[in-house]
Amino acid sequence: MADAPKKRTTDIGPPHYEQFLPPAIKKNYGQWKYHEILRAGVMKHVAENGDAVYTVRAGGSRLMSIDKIRMICDLADKYADGHLRFTSRHNIEFMFTDEKKIDTLIADLKKIGHPVGGTGPSITSIVHTQGWVHCHSAATDASGIVKSVMDAVIGHFENMDLPAKCRIALACCLNMCGAVHCSDIAILGIHRRPPKINHDLLHKTCEIPNVVSACPTAAIKPTTVNGKPSVTVDEERCMFCANCYTVCPSMTLNNPLNDGVSIWIGGKVSNARHEPMFSKLAIPYIENNPPRWPEVVEAVVNIIDVWKNNARKYERIGEWIERIGWPNFFKLSGIEFGKMHIDDFKHAGLTFKRSAQLTY
Amino acid sequence: MADAPKKRTTDIGPPHYEQFLPPAIKKNYGQWKYHEILRAGVMKHVAENGDAVYTVRAGGSRLMSIDKIRMICDLADKYADGHLRFTSRHNIEFMFTDEKKIDTLIADLKKIGHPVGGTGPSITSIVHTQGWVHCHSAATDASGIVKSVMDAVIGHFENMDLPAKCRIALACCLNMCGAVHCSDIAILGIHRRPPKINHDLLHKTCEIPNVVSACPTAAIKPTTVNGKPSVTVDEERCMFCANCYTVCPSMTLNNPLNDGVSIWIGGKVSNARHEPMFSKLAIPYIENNPPRWPEVVEAVVNIIDVWKNNARKYERIGEWIERIGWPNFFKLSGIEFGKMHIDDFKHAGLTFKRSAQLTY
Amino acid sequence: MADELPKTPMLDELEKGPWPSFVSEIKMAAKRSPASKDLLGILERSYQEKIGHWKHGGIVGVLGYGGGVIGRYCDVPQDFPNVAHFHTIRVNQPAGWYYKTDALRKICDIWEKRGSGMTNMHGSTGDIILLGTSTDQLEPIFEELTAIGFDLGGSGSDVRTPSCCLGKSRCEWACYDTMAACHDFTKNYQDELHRPAFPYKFKFKFSGCPNDCVASVARADMSIIGTWRDNIRIDQKAVGDYASAGVDVTKEIVNLCPAKCMDWDGKMLKIDNSTCRRCMHCINVMPKALRPGKDTGACILIGSKAPIVEGALLSSVIVPFIKMEPPYQEIRDLVERIWDLWCDEGKNRERIGEFIQRVGLGNFLEMIEVEPAAQMVAHPRENPYVFYEEYFEEGEEEAEN
Amino acid sequence: MADELPKTPMLDELEKGPWPSFVSEIKMAAKRSPASKDLLGILERSYQEKIGHWKHGGIVGVLGYGGGVIGRYCDVPQDFPNVAHFHTIRVNQPAGWYYKTDALRKICDIWEKRGSGMTNMHGSTGDIILLGTSTDQLEPIFEELTAIGFDLGGSGSDVRTPSCCLGKSRCEWACYDTMAACHDFTKNYQDELHRPAFPYKFKFKFSGCPNDCVASVARADMSIIGTWRDNIRIDQKAVGDYASAGVDVTKEIVNLCPAKCMDWDGKMLKIDNSTCRRCMHCINVMPKALRPGKDTGACILIGSKAPIVEGALLSSVIVPFIKMEPPYQEIRDLVERIWDLWCDEGKNRERIGEFIQRVGLGNFLEMIEVEPAAQMVAHPRENPYVFYEEYFEEGEEEAEN
Ligand code: SRM
Ligand code: SRM
Ligand code: SRM
Ligand code: SRM
Ligand code: SF4
Ligand code: SF4
Ligand code: SF4
Ligand code: SF4
Ligand code: SF4
Ligand code: SF4
Ligand code: SF4
Ligand code: SF4
């Protein structure tokens, strides 16, 4: 890129956060003593000096119009002196010192379609990605599944009725834009067929050495087709990751007949009790079934129900399954175990059951 | 090999074990109800019908002369109707039904130099290998270190004064003839210099493709030296495993100046409580110091002492360290942590500390 | 503007149900924006055909910057001309995602004029995402954004917009000031953020305690997680209150402590802080009774990422403990040593985590001049393939390197 | 014979101390055997020089057998002519290592006449090891051994002598008859044991319960470990007796149960057998009160080995549960399918465990016609690199392979 013209303002970074802090937050910054969750979505934080701040958390839609942002600003002006924040999972929080505002704010939020909840042992917003709304790589839509699943589990958003937090995430392809790989439940868009190669265009759009080295399984080899440099894919070795497509537009993976989602469970991020864990494969494939992906919704609901009915307090999904063992999880959930569940990538050997500690 | 002549007896396998079983064992085979450890090295097994069998376990020397075997046979004749057995860790067991024989048998064993013990939460015989007594591959002796260590820890053989079982093993090279890789404490002979290649002989004694493929780090390449086919070793990649030597006598690793032992800890085999675990590197290198390897003895005794003084009941070394964390182990033992402790082989990445669960 | 919305029978199904509907959002925007109207149409077609209609990439941006804009074109511009271009703009969010409404409204105004009116609040990395505009609007948008005090985020092989948990602003457990640190790093690395010059992307995330509320351990090349070195502060009376209020201290806390370092006799809660792993569980359950220690700071972990290419990674410990005080000079020095090395030796599209996997942690530490510490490993090596670097030479007595 | 023993000042140090001395053993043998006398001498030299004096290998054996003898020559035959040859003979031990003294004495007599008089009782694999003889003695030794009912063990790329814990002979926990199974397999595979025809060695070990007293999980290509499918048998009164006798049931048992599936209220011990992992701990601690269930059998694990070449392996589950009844036909069939595959597709010096690592467990199961079971993995895959084998073809509705 050429140098920027002299007088343009550049590299100013974001505005300083301090100007945005609600007054009671600014005053007690670093002086918090403890907190309580008063009910789902409502918290009270108490400072060393006794000051209390109330937080109301509303489910965010993430994909939001400026119209909605303005409505939310209206509520912030009305209830919180024009202050608000978004959480790391895209929910919206209002903070104020007057406890009495809580109920009316919640009622006003409901009016514009935003439920309150997501604190404590509950389900909070699903972290997700672009899907068919914006990304070229998507094997499924993001927002449609998220909406359908949240509609089904909203009871667990509005009530803290689960053994522990349950963090759901969705990514529309293996690039996994989010912490999908470390979620209690992850919904992942997948392809099931090798790339279709546009041999006429490839040499113009892609750097062949980059393409070759992009493949995790070394399935791609350089070749010449109709006199033009191109690549071939050893279809036996391809596991449809689409990494070649990421570096080369002439190798499309998208395939309406075969794309779909897989479900992964038992990951977590916090260090509480168990160290962070990756999610593990539960269901290898469910067809794309827009607009509401009922099979995906059912699968997620089933996993949550089985967990809720069997886990002990504070056990996140991965911790629960680690205690009861995966054979019991498959038995209880009715999900079938098969070859695809068995790891065959780099560290596969370490996932084999290397002991006689077994359940039947 | 040529076919065997017709009348030779072949492929008869071992004698049937039944003929060797002590009468009370034969009678109650499969009918045992429970056992008690009466004291170190002495057990009582009780059958459903109330029959009791007493077992006295004597420390074995493993490397034994026929003279000693005959003395032991004399004791078996005297106390156990001519029956005896060896354990999976090379100890010697006598079984009989008359409780009163226990003390005199123990006294008689002492006379021929065999202590009694090794049951329950104790140290039992060290499983070991050939060393300089018989093997071409040995980076250290086996029997000499074993004798020196057992002399120092015999108190824990004759008394059940440890938190749990402590299984020590020794292997004189990385071939690890034994379960050294899964021991509470493993003493392992190691080389520290790359192979010396005899280029004149190599093409006669070794198959070059086998040699090349034997190297875990791909350090060996075919080449020609003085007109003869041979190999070169990239010394930067060599980590002295001696696998090339195993397949090729013309690549010696033995080096009196640099050979020695390393100490590995925290492995186990049983499924009790924790699943089986590999041993982990504690001390990367101690010089060979025959005849009694005092530095090795001291290192082993130190590890046992630190464990004994800090572990909880039933915690084997690996379980104890897993609870307190490796940083605490290094602190308590005074062993220094360094680059060599950090894995750099195939699955190294999985051994990095991938969480904020830390002790200081 | 766009009067009549296209027919979207499938999408309409997604206006039902209690959770906020993104379809309703797009419809709101579509009332005013032709781009959002075509977005509705093209999305409905994707739902019918079960395939996306966006073409692969295309480099667009603003002058002097290499990152911050994701180029996007649809593959059926004849049918949906208003989303022929549909670029995304990433904007650095303020630390902790706090806003005043006037600032937000100004962004909305720009976006009403120059974009689709659709946003993500926020993107997965943490940026404000302005979703859908055309190439000719980029410079004006940039000018207007900077005028109201906002700047672009990262994309491509550069520093990505750092993010942080709300830390000391509202959380009693914050062991350092995450928002201050996040803001400082974002400002300090503006050049690296806007002008891609690395082998690949580099993300910072700041969490105030091991609860890790920005998931830094899973998705940051450098994860800076608050912790403490001294003892957990206990208010024994408050423990008793929890017990009286029905908390089963043994079952819910002592037995779930991963370090097995707690003891509760019904009166006194004891913690062996020498083996406590600072997991936060006991503190989480009894916030009024237990608090992190006072000697607080952070541990730094490095290298997490999504699976592509070599498999997903979690960050791993590189600095077991460090005090977090501006200007964070020690961390800046470390970061710069790491970047220098990675820029010299890293391969194209090799994240720092993958680089460490390739060269080995021990070697990496040597190259960046950091001493190995036992906290950096889950456990020492299990395989005996040790590269001994010291040995005796014939005739020598001392070991040499 | 050998009257005067060589001077061995260093070795003499190893006659001191309470543990049985191997030096004293060699000295005893050396009184009669010139080979053992030279063994003393050459070993003293090794102690002085800190290096072994044995040359690499050399193939020797008995007619018609390919295994059972390890050839060994010293590299200083001029100084120690009596260990110029010093071959080892491996002899199949009887299952469980039980002997009558007459059998042992007969072996000693042969070895007095034809060898060094030194033995290992036993070798690491489990064989009787007769240590040190010369090539001309091999055939006579073999003839005399078979005459008293003993046969050679394995060496090289063949089945190695199987071994087992003492199982039902003296242990109340044995879930199947290990000695019977070990004897049966040893007899059944005599041909494979004596005539190397595999890519590499293959070891069987039989343990009667998950305590695994022959360390099978760490050092057998096939580890057959007893277990049960039904419920642990509890004698509640006996539990109470242990508690009265001072066992802290909560601390020593319930809290150490890896499945966290036990509960003790001071009166009644409850076990949730559906999640019990059959680890044995509770049974180990209270053998009078707890016993394995009655629906007993074994789980079969495959593939453990020492580190060379690709790193050490522990065996992993291939048959979660099987009844153990002679003639063990199902296991034999499985073993033969595995051997056929491995002989066809295994590389030179590739143990079965490494073979599985290379081809993948899923593929391996397919090739040996075993259905995948959740018990075979510690957990399902974490990476999304799934080889989907089923998909729809254009125009189809059903999935195909
Ligand atoms: C607001 C937010 C931080 C921010 O800067 O935005 C936040 C805020 C709090 N977190 Fe968090 N966490 C937030 C994302 C996270 C994340 C990140 C994520 O999910 O992507 C995690 C890691 C999740 C994981 O492990 O996969 C996270 C793991 C925790 C935990 C550990 C829970 C566990 O048992 O594993 C606690 C402790 C607790 O809840 O007892 C915690 C506790 C808290 C407390 C109680 C801290 C405090 O004293 O105020 C806050 C309210 C919790 C609540 O909602 O119940 N927070 N928290 C985030 C709200 C997200 C949302 O809108 O739902
Ligand atoms: C005799 C022998 C089997 C044989 O066929 O030879 C044997 C016999 C018994 N074992 Fe064992 N074990 C024997 C080697 C092993 C091994 C193998 C090894 O060390 O190489 C192991 C696995 C060790 C490991 O995990 O690294 C082993 C792990 C156990 C355990 C589990 C201990 C644990 O807590 O991890 C028990 C249970 C117990 O002791 O409470 C056990 C219990 C027993 C019992 C109590 C079983 C019984 O009811 O009779 C026997 C007496 C134990 C004792 O000595 O305290 N046996 N036992 C072996 C004696 C070796 C020796 O001479 O010292
Ligand atoms: C917009 C966003 C998703 C969202 O809906 O929020 C996003 C969108 C894209 N990501 Fe991402 N990533 C986004 C956060 C992430 C995250 C999460 C995070 O940063 O915390 C990850 C996982 C963490 C990580 O960095 O590993 C992530 C891992 C990837 C990867 C895989 C990188 C890897 O090393 O494994 C790619 C592929 C690539 O870089 O070539 C990728 C590539 C992409 C591209 C640029 C598509 C491509 O192949 O070139 C997507 C553009 C979509 C579009 O049309 O706008 N995106 N991407 C997120 C950025 C918003 C923001 O700035 O706030
Ligand atoms: C005699 C014995 C050690 C002992 O003192 O007891 C032994 C001795 C040798 N072993 Fe071993 N192994 C012996 C049990 C083992 C065991 C333990 C076991 O079987 O339970 C192991 C580990 C388990 C395993 O099989 O992996 C073992 C793993 C090795 C290896 C590494 C194999 C691997 O795949 O990693 C080698 C190297 C090789 O095969 O090339 C090896 C090679 C050797 C050779 C043949 C040396 C060589 O490089 O060719 C040694 C001959 C020594 C000699 O001079 O007599 N030996 N070897 C053991 C056999 C006695 C017996 O039959 O009872
Ligand atoms: S997960 Fe894949 S499809 Fe979804 S936004 Fe990220 S790169 Fe695009
Ligand atoms: S989709 Fe993945 S596995 Fe298949 S060819 Fe492309 S990069 Fe290779
Ligand atoms: S461990 Fe090595 S040196 Fe020792 S007996 Fe086995 S092969 Fe020989
Ligand atoms: S000793 Fe090991 S690493 Fe070194 S060259 Fe030989 S086989 Fe390779
Ligand atoms: S990471 Fe810790 S300090 Fe930050 S918000 Fe979460 S609980 Fe509070
Ligand atoms: S912080 Fe975690 S490890 Fe430390 S005492 Fe509390 S529960 Fe135990
Ligand atoms: S493995 Fe089990 S059955 Fe065999 S001796 Fe050991 S404890 Fe008894
Ligand atoms: S056998 Fe092990 S897992 Fe089962 S109840 Fe006993 S201690 Fe728990």
pLDDT in tens, D325-335: 999 999 999 99
Do C183 and C308 lie in a common domain? yes
Asked whether residue C390 is assigned to any structural domain, the reply reads: no
Do C209 and C316 lie in a common domain? yes
Burial classification of residue A50, based on how many CB atoms lie within 10 Å of its CB (0-12 exposed, 13-18 middle, 19 or more buried): exposed
Asked whether residue C391 is assigned to any structural domain, the reply reads: no
Please name the residue of chain A whose CA is at the shortest distance from the CA of residue B276.
A355
D213 CA to middle of ligand 2, Å? 5
Binary contact (A141, C46; C-beta < 8 A): yes
Res A6: pLDDT: 56
Mean pLDDT across chain D, nearest whole number? Answer: 96
Neighbouring C-beta atoms of residue A81, cutoff 10 Å: 16
Res C397: pLDDT: 55
Nearest-ligand number for the alpha carbon of A183: 1
Res C394: pLDDT: 80
Asked whether residue D85 is assigned to any structural domain, the reply reads: yes
Q: Maximum CA pair distance of chain D?
A: 93
Res A7: pLDDT: 74
Percent helix / strand / coil, chain D, rounded to 5: 35, 15, 45
- Interface residues on D facing C, Cβ-Cβ cutoff 8 A: 255, 260, 307, 311-312, 382-385
Res D397: pLDDT: 55
The pLDDT tens digits for C225-272 are: 999 999 999 999 999 999 999 999 999 999 999 999 999 999 999 999
> Quick check: CB of A88 below 6 Å from ligand 1?
yes
B151 CA to middle of ligand 7, Å? 23
Do C222 and C244 lie in a common domain? no
Do D329 and D192 lie in a common domain? yes
On chain B, the residues whose CB falls within 8 A of the CB of D67 are: none
Res D400: pLDDT: 44
Q: Whose C-alpha lies nearest to ligand 7, atom 7?
A: B175
Distance from CA of A170 to the nearest CA of D (A): 14
Do D242 and D351 lie in a common domain? no
Q: Phi and psi of A339, rounded to 5°?
A: -55, -40
A69 CA to middle of ligand 1, Å? 24
CB C49 within 8 A of CB C97: no
Q: What is the pTM of this model?
A: 0.97
- In D41-187, DSSP assigns E strands to 69-70, 88-91, 98-100, 118-121, 128-131, 163-164
**Out of C35-39, C55-59, D254-258, which region has the weakest mean confidence (pLDDT)?**
C55-59
CB C384 within 8 A of CB B279: no
C354 CA to middle of ligand 6, Å? 19
Residues B53, B45: Cα–Cα separation, whole Å: 5
Neighbouring C-beta atoms of residue C230, cutoff 10 Å: 12
Distance from CA of A137 to the nearest CA of D (A): 16
Banded pLDDT at D395 (limits 50, 70, 90): confident
φ/ψ bin of C45: left (φ > 0), alpha (ψ from -120 to 50), beta (otherwise): alpha
Residue B126: half-sphere exposure toward Cβ, Cα within 13 Å: 30
Do C361 and C244 lie in a common domain? no
Asked whether residue C388 is assigned to any structural domain, the reply reads: no
Banded pLDDT at C1 (limits 50, 70, 90): very low
| Mean pLDDT calculated for residue range D305-315 | 95
Strand duo C262-264 + C269-271: pairing? antiparallel
The pLDDT tens digits for D29-41 are: 999 999 999 999 9
CB D291 within 8 A of CB D232: yes
CA D41 to chain centre: 33
Asked whether residue D392 is assigned to any structural domain, the reply reads: no
Binary contact (A272, C281; C-beta < 8 A): yes
Burial classification of residue A98, based on how many CB atoms lie within 10 Å of its CB (0-12 exposed, 13-18 middle, 19 or more buried): exposed
On chain C, the residues whose CB falls within 8 A of the CB of D309 are: none
Banded pLDDT at B8 (limits 50, 70, 90): confident
Nearest-ligand number for the alpha carbon of D168: 11
The residue type of C184 is D
Q: Whose C-alpha lies nearest to ligand 12, atom 8?
A: D257
CB D6 within 8 A of CB D39: no
Nearest partner of B245 among B209, B219, B214, judged by Cα: B214
Q: Whose C-alpha lies nearest to ligand 3, atom 47?
A: A246
> Quick check: CB of B177 below 6 Å from ligand 7?
yes
Containing structural domain, residue D77: 9-147
Residues D313, A355: Cα–Cα separation, whole Å: 11
> Quick check: CB of D172 below 6 Å from ligand 2?
yes
Q: Is A282 on the interface with D (CB under 8 A)?
A: yes
B55 contacts: CB under 8 Å, gap ≥ 6: B42, B43, B44, B45, B93, B94, B95, D170
The residue type of A134 is H
* Percent of the residues in chain C that have a pLDDT greater than 70, as a whole number: 98
Interface residue of B181, B273, B275 to substitute, partner A, most A CBs within 10 Å: B275
Nearest-ligand number for the alpha carbon of C123: 3
On chain B, the residues whose CB falls within 8 A of the CB of A275 are: 354-355, 357
CA A163 to chain centre: 20
Q: A 53-92 residues with CB below 8 A of C?
A: 53, 55, 59-70, 73-74, 76-77, 82-88, 90, 92
> Quick check: CB of B261 below 6 Å from ligand 7?
no
What value does the CA radius of gyration of chain A take, rounded to a whole number of Å? 24
CATH of the domain at D240: 3.30.70.20
Nearest partner of A184 among A219, A159, A214, A149, judged by Cα: A149
Question: Does residue B246 surpass a pLDDT of 60?
Answer: yes
| Mean pLDDT calculated for residue range D158-173 | 98
CB A212 within 8 A of CB A231: yes
Token pair of B158 as six digits: 């004759």
Closest approach atom of ligand 5 to CA C52: 3
Banded pLDDT at B49 (limits 50, 70, 90): very high
Interface residue of B345, B353, B357 to substitute, partner A, most A CBs within 10 Å: B357
CB A51 within 8 A of CB A27: yes
CA distances from C270 to C248, C275, D310 (A): 15, 12, 46
Asked whether residue C2 is assigned to any structural domain, the reply reads: no
Do C195 and C322 lie in a common domain? yes
Residues B128, C104: Cα–Cα separation, whole Å: 73
Do C13 and C73 lie in a common domain? yes
Q: Is B327 on the interface with C (CB under 8 A)?
A: yes
The pLDDT tens digits for A156-209 are: 999 999 999 999 999 999 999 987 999 999 999 999 999 999 999 999 999 999
Asked whether residue C260 is assigned to any structural domain, the reply reads: yes
Of C229, C372, C394, the CB nearest to B342: C372
- In C9-162, DSSP assigns E strands to 69-70, 88-91, 98-100, 118-121, 128-131
Of A82, A135, A272, the CB nearest to C52: A135
B238 CA to middle of ligand 8, Å? 5
> Quick check: CB of C212 below 6 Å from ligand 9?
yes
Low-confidence ranges of chain A (pLDDT < 50): 1-2
CATH of the domain at C169: 3.30.413.10
On chain D, the residues whose CB falls within 8 A of the CB of C311 are: 382-383, 385
Interface residue of B355, B358, B359 to substitute, partner A, most A CBs within 10 Å: B355
The pLDDT tens digits for D245-301 are: 999 999 999 999 999 999 999 999 999 999 999 999 999 999 999 999 999 999 999
Do D134 and D180 lie in a common domain? no
Residues B165, B184: Cα–Cα separation, whole Å: 9
Do C48 and C118 lie in a common domain? yes
Question: Does residue B1 surpass a pLDDT of 80?
Answer: no
Question: Does residue B203 surpass a pLDDT of 80?
Answer: yes
Q: Whose C-alpha lies nearest to ligand 6, atom 4?
A: A238
- Give A221-230's long-range contacts (Cβ < 8 A, gap of 24+): A225/A199, A226/A199, A226/A200, A228/A199, A228/A200, A228/A202, A228/A203, A229/A202, A229/A203, A230/A197, A230/A199, A230/A202, A230/A203
Question: Which stretches within C281-360 are classed as H helix?
Answer: 281-285, 329-345, 352-359
Domain count within chain C: 3
Asked whether residue D112 is assigned to any structural domain, the reply reads: yes
CA D376 to chain centre: 21
Banded pLDDT at C4 (limits 50, 70, 90): confident
Do C129 and C216 lie in a common domain? no
Binary contact (D381, A351; C-beta < 8 A): yes
On chain D, the residues whose CB falls within 8 A of the CB of B76 are: 101
Mean pLDDT across chain B, nearest whole number? Answer: 96
CA distances from A337 to A302, C241, D382 (A): 16, 47, 15
Do C141 and C237 lie in a common domain? no
Peptide bond into D380 cis (omega under 30): no
CB D249 within 8 A of CB D264: yes
Residue D357: half-sphere exposure toward Cβ, Cα within 13 Å: 22
The pLDDT tens digits for D93-134 are: 999 999 999 999 999 999 999 999 999 999 999 999 999 999
